[in-house]
């Protein structure tokens, strides 16, 4: 994932809620079951899903890091 996209999505999660990203992941996962999708399309969807999971892990790590600094 490119840095501007990571920054944008990280900002989005901090301003809203990570549930939006989780729901997006679930939607993309459901789309992978469409039989008419081409391999290239599945690759793109898979890359998006992978990046969003990584983003969620990063934001959880950042939250934990901030909480540890407060204590």
Reduce the secondary structure of the chain to three states and give it as a string. CCHHHHHHHHHHHHHCCHHHHHHHHHHHHHHCCCCCCCHHHHHHHHHHHHHHHHHHHHHHHHHHHHHHHHC
Instruction: Look at residue 71 and tell me if it is in a domain.
Output: no
| Domains in the chain, number | 1
Name the band, by pLDDT with cuts 50, 70 and 90, for residue 13: confident
**What is the reported pLDDT for 40?**
98
Q: What percent of the chain has pLDDT over 90?
A: 52
Instruction: Look at residue 70 and tell me if it is in a domain.
Output: no
Domain that includes residue 9, residue range: 3-62
Instruction: Look at residue 12 and tell me if it is in a domain.
Output: yes
Digit-coded pLDDT (tens) for 51-62? 899 889 988 998
Instruction: Look at residue 67 and tell me if it is in a domain.
Output: no
Instruction: Look at residue 68 and tell me if it is in a domain.
Output: no
């Amino acid at each position: 994932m490119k840095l501007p996209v990571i920054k944008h999505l990280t900002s989005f999660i901090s301003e809203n809620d990570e549930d939006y990203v989780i729901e997006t992941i679930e939607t993309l996962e459901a789309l992978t079951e469409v039989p008419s999708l081409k391999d290239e399309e599945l690759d793109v969807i898979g890359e998006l899903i992978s990046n969003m999971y990584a983003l969620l892990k990063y934001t959880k790590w950042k939250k934990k890091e901030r909480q540890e600094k407060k204590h």
